[in-house]
């Protein structure tokens, strides 16, 4: 091997190592693999909320879903609760959770109120593309997405 051959081989190895390093970095920074644990129900009751969602172009894929929550306080006291998601819908290959507005618990459109009321749903289903807040009194659908910086 001549001196020029060694230089060319070293340059090729540096380029390949740099390429592999950049691909590895991109893989580490890339989005997490989506899990598909969104429930799908074959029978969904037709009501005015479903009609509004379908009229807006959403396909309703699941109805009311209960998420049980167990909590332990001070390693002794066991507490139980649950969260309810009203619907799961899909549009353009994106899946959204749906919460329907309640008269007794209205949502103020402030950052803290939206966070306190809806962030938990987005964290439970990170594979969802957002939360739809349906206000039947105003006949409106609001799409809410959360962007969390860590």
Confirm whether 111 is domain-assigned: yes
**Domain total of the chain:** 2
pLDDT tens for 36-88 read 477 776 678 888 999 999 999 999 998 888 889 999 999 999 999 999 999 99
What is the reported pLDDT for 96?
95
Confirm whether 43 is domain-assigned: no
Confirm whether 107 is domain-assigned: yes
pLDDT of residue 2 exceeding 90, the answer is no
**Contact call for residues 38 and 124 (beta carbons, < 8 A):** no
What is the reported pLDDT for 33?
53
CATH of the domain at 131: 3.40.1350
pLDDT of residue 134 exceeding 80, the answer is yes
Q: Domain range for residue 14?
A: 1-30
> Rounded to an integer, what distance in angstroms lies between the CA atom of residue 32 and that of residue 14?
29
What is the reported pLDDT for 150?
80
Q: How far is CA 6 from the centre of its chain?
A: 52
């Amino acid at each position: 091997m001549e001196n020029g051959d060694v230089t060319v081989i070293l340059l090729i190895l540096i380029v390949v190592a740099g390429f592999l390093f950049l691909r590895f970095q991109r893989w580490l920074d890339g989005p997490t693999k989506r899990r598909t644990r969104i429930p799908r129900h074959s029978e969904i009751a037709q009501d005015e909320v479903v009609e509004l969602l379908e009229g807006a172009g959403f396909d309703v894929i699941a109805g009311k879903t209960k998420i049980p929550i167990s909590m332990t306080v001070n390693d002794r006291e066991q507490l139980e609760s649950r969260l309810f998601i009203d619907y799961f819908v899909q549009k353009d290959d994106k899946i959204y959770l749906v919460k329907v507005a309640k008269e007794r618990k209205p949502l103020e459109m402030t950052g803290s109120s939206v966070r306190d009321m809806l962030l938990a749903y987005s964290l439970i289903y990170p594979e969802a593309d957002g939360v739809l807040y349906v206000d039947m009194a105003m006949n409106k659908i609001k799409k809410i997405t959360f962007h969390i910086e860590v």
